[in-house]
Structure 1
Protein backbone atom coordinates (compact mmCIF):
# COMPACT_ATOMS: atom_id res chain seq x y z
CA UNK A 1 0.00 0.00 0.00
CA UNK A 2 2.74 2.43 0.95
CA UNK A 3 4.59 1.72 -2.31
CA UNK A 4 1.45 2.52 -4.34
CA UNK A 5 0.96 5.83 -2.53
CA UNK A 6 4.57 6.86 -3.22
CA UNK A 7 4.19 5.96 -6.90
CA UNK A 8 0.92 7.85 -7.15
CA UNK A 9 2.41 10.91 -5.45
CA UNK A 10 5.43 10.83 -7.76
CA UNK A 11 3.13 10.58 -10.78
CA UNK A 12 1.08 13.56 -9.65
CA UNK A 13 4.21 15.66 -9.10
CA UNK A 14 5.43 14.74 -12.56
CA UNK A 15 2.10 15.72 -14.13
CA UNK A 16 2.05 18.98 -12.17
CA UNK A 17 5.52 19.81 -13.50
CA UNK A 18 4.44 19.12 -17.07
CA UNK A 19 1.39 21.34 -16.59
CA UNK A 20 3.50 24.17 -15.21
CA UNK A 21 5.93 23.95 -18.12
CA UNK A 22 3.07 24.03 -20.62
CA UNK A 23 1.55 27.06 -18.89
CA UNK A 24 4.77 28.98 -19.50
CA UNK A 25 4.41 28.66 -23.28
CA UNK A 26 3.10 31.90 -24.73
CA UNK A 27 1.08 31.83 -27.91
CA UNK A 28 0.57 35.09 -29.73
CA UNK A 29 -2.53 34.88 -31.84
CA UNK A 30 -2.00 35.58 -35.56
CA UNK A 31 -4.25 38.65 -35.31
CA UNK A 32 -2.14 40.07 -32.45
CA UNK A 33 1.06 39.36 -34.37
CA UNK A 34 -0.35 41.22 -37.38
CA UNK A 35 -1.26 44.20 -35.19
CA UNK A 36 2.25 44.23 -33.70
CA UNK A 37 3.96 43.98 -37.12
CA UNK A 38 1.85 46.81 -38.57
CA UNK A 39 2.43 49.02 -35.55
CA UNK A 40 6.19 48.41 -35.65
CA UNK A 41 6.28 49.44 -39.32
CA UNK A 42 4.52 52.71 -38.47
CA UNK A 43 6.61 53.36 -35.34
CA UNK A 44 10.16 52.30 -36.27
CA UNK A 45 12.74 52.21 -33.52
CA UNK A 46 16.50 52.42 -33.70
CA UNK A 47 18.10 49.05 -33.17
CA UNK A 48 20.07 48.58 -29.96
CA UNK A 49 22.76 46.12 -28.99
CA UNK A 50 22.44 44.10 -25.81
CA UNK A 51 25.70 42.25 -25.13
CA UNK A 52 25.34 38.86 -23.51
CA UNK A 53 21.66 38.35 -24.35
CA UNK A 54 20.65 35.76 -26.90
CA UNK A 55 17.53 36.59 -28.88
CA UNK A 56 15.67 33.41 -28.03
CA UNK A 57 12.17 32.87 -26.73
CA UNK A 58 12.41 32.80 -22.95
CA UNK A 59 15.54 34.97 -22.70
CA UNK A 60 15.20 37.81 -20.20
CA UNK A 61 16.05 41.36 -21.21
CA UNK A 62 17.82 43.58 -18.67
CA UNK A 63 16.06 46.61 -17.17
CA UNK A 64 18.31 48.88 -19.24
CA UNK A 65 16.43 47.90 -22.42
CA UNK A 66 13.49 50.24 -23.03
CA UNK A 67 10.26 48.43 -23.94
CA UNK A 68 7.67 50.17 -26.11
CA UNK A 69 3.92 49.79 -25.92
CA UNK A 70 1.66 48.56 -28.70
CA UNK A 71 -1.90 49.88 -28.24
CA UNK A 72 -4.43 47.21 -27.22
CA UNK A 73 -1.77 44.51 -26.89
CA UNK A 74 -0.47 43.32 -23.52
CA UNK A 75 3.05 42.76 -24.83
CA UNK A 76 5.76 45.34 -25.47
CA UNK A 77 8.42 45.45 -28.16
CA UNK A 78 11.91 46.64 -28.87
CA UNK A 79 14.41 46.24 -31.69
CA UNK A 80 17.66 44.44 -30.93
CA UNK A 81 20.25 43.68 -33.60
CA UNK A 82 17.73 44.77 -36.26
CA UNK A 83 15.20 42.19 -35.09
CA UNK A 84 11.86 43.08 -33.52
CA UNK A 85 11.44 41.36 -30.19
CA UNK A 86 8.07 40.97 -28.45
CA UNK A 87 8.42 40.94 -24.66
CA UNK A 88 6.18 40.15 -21.69
CA UNK A 89 6.48 43.39 -19.66
CA UNK A 90 5.92 41.63 -16.34
CA UNK A 91 8.78 39.17 -16.69
CA UNK A 92 10.80 40.95 -19.41
CA UNK A 93 11.06 37.58 -21.17
CA UNK A 94 11.09 37.37 -24.95
CA UNK A 95 7.89 35.73 -26.19
CA UNK A 96 8.42 36.19 -29.93
CA UNK A 97 11.18 37.26 -32.32
CA UNK A 98 9.74 38.75 -35.51
CA UNK A 99 12.05 38.40 -38.48
Structure 2
Protein backbone atom coordinates (compact mmCIF):
# COMPACT_ATOMS: atom_id res chain seq x y z
CA UNK A 1 0.00 0.00 0.00
CA UNK A 2 1.26 3.45 -0.80
CA UNK A 3 2.54 5.58 2.03
CA UNK A 4 0.58 8.44 3.48
CA UNK A 5 0.40 11.41 1.13
CA UNK A 6 1.14 9.31 -1.95
CA UNK A 7 -1.37 9.39 -4.76
CA UNK A 8 -3.25 6.18 -5.53
CA UNK A 9 -5.60 5.33 -8.34
CA UNK A 10 -8.78 3.33 -8.02
CA UNK A 11 -11.61 2.74 -10.45
CA UNK A 12 -15.03 2.04 -9.03
CA UNK A 13 -18.40 1.09 -10.43
CA UNK A 14 -21.68 2.11 -8.88
CA UNK A 15 -23.07 -1.29 -7.98
CA UNK A 16 -26.39 -0.17 -6.50
CA UNK A 17 -28.44 2.99 -5.98
CA UNK A 18 -31.44 2.83 -3.67
CA UNK A 19 -33.09 6.24 -3.68
CA UNK A 20 -35.80 5.19 -1.22
CA UNK A 21 -33.22 4.06 1.36
CA UNK A 22 -30.85 6.87 0.30
CA UNK A 23 -27.81 4.68 -0.27
CA UNK A 24 -25.21 4.14 -2.95
CA UNK A 25 -22.84 1.17 -3.14
CA UNK A 26 -19.50 1.37 -4.95
CA UNK A 27 -17.24 -1.57 -5.85
CA UNK A 28 -13.55 -1.18 -6.69
CA UNK A 29 -12.52 -3.11 -9.79
CA UNK A 30 -9.13 -1.67 -10.77
CA UNK A 31 -6.20 0.17 -9.26
CA UNK A 32 -4.19 0.14 -6.06
CA UNK A 33 -7.08 -1.09 -3.90
CA UNK A 34 -7.51 -4.34 -5.84
CA UNK A 35 -3.78 -5.01 -5.55
CA UNK A 36 -4.27 -5.22 -1.77
CA UNK A 37 -7.83 -6.51 -1.45
CA UNK A 38 -9.63 -9.34 -3.25
CA UNK A 39 -12.89 -7.47 -2.73
CA UNK A 40 -13.53 -3.87 -1.72
CA UNK A 41 -17.01 -2.39 -1.50
CA UNK A 42 -18.14 0.86 0.12
CA UNK A 43 -21.72 1.88 0.81
CA UNK A 44 -22.75 5.41 1.73
CA UNK A 45 -26.13 5.87 3.41
CA UNK A 46 -27.78 9.18 4.29
CA UNK A 47 -30.11 9.14 7.30
CA UNK A 48 -32.21 11.91 8.75
CA UNK A 49 -32.35 12.59 12.47
CA UNK A 50 -34.63 15.56 12.89
CA UNK A 51 -33.09 18.39 10.91
CA UNK A 52 -29.71 16.65 10.77
CA UNK A 53 -28.48 14.40 7.99
CA UNK A 54 -26.12 11.61 9.01
CA UNK A 55 -23.70 10.11 6.50
CA UNK A 56 -22.92 6.49 7.32
CA UNK A 57 -20.22 4.47 5.55
CA UNK A 58 -19.98 0.69 5.47
CA UNK A 59 -16.81 -0.85 4.05
CA UNK A 60 -16.62 -4.52 3.13
CA UNK A 61 -13.26 -5.90 2.12
CA UNK A 62 -11.27 -9.10 1.82
CA UNK A 63 -7.49 -8.89 2.10
CA UNK A 64 -5.26 -10.54 -0.50
CA UNK A 65 -3.30 -12.04 2.41
CA UNK A 66 -2.89 -11.62 6.17
CA UNK A 67 -0.01 -9.12 5.74
CA UNK A 68 -2.28 -6.53 4.11
CA UNK A 69 -3.30 -3.82 6.60
CA UNK A 70 -6.89 -2.88 7.33
CA UNK A 71 -7.92 -0.03 5.01
CA UNK A 72 -7.71 2.78 7.57
CA UNK A 73 -5.68 4.86 5.13
CA UNK A 74 -8.85 5.36 3.06
CA UNK A 75 -10.76 7.07 5.88
CA UNK A 76 -9.65 10.51 4.67
CA UNK A 77 -11.10 9.75 1.24
CA UNK A 78 -14.46 8.88 2.81
CA UNK A 79 -14.32 12.05 4.91
CA UNK A 80 -13.69 14.14 1.78
CA UNK A 81 -16.61 12.50 -0.04
CA UNK A 82 -18.81 13.11 3.01
CA UNK A 83 -17.88 16.81 2.95
CA UNK A 84 -18.76 16.95 -0.76
CA UNK A 85 -22.16 15.34 -0.02
CA UNK A 86 -22.75 17.89 2.75
CA UNK A 87 -21.84 20.80 0.48
CA UNK A 88 -24.19 19.47 -2.19
CA UNK A 89 -27.11 19.26 0.24
CA UNK A 90 -26.44 22.71 1.72
CA UNK A 91 -26.57 24.24 -1.78
CA UNK A 92 -29.91 22.57 -2.64
Fold-level match, TM-score > 0.5? Answer: no
Relative to its length, the structure with more helix (as a share) is 1
TM-score by length of 1: 0.27
Q: Which has the higher contact order (CA 8 A, sep 6+)?
A: 1
TM-score by length of 2: 0.28
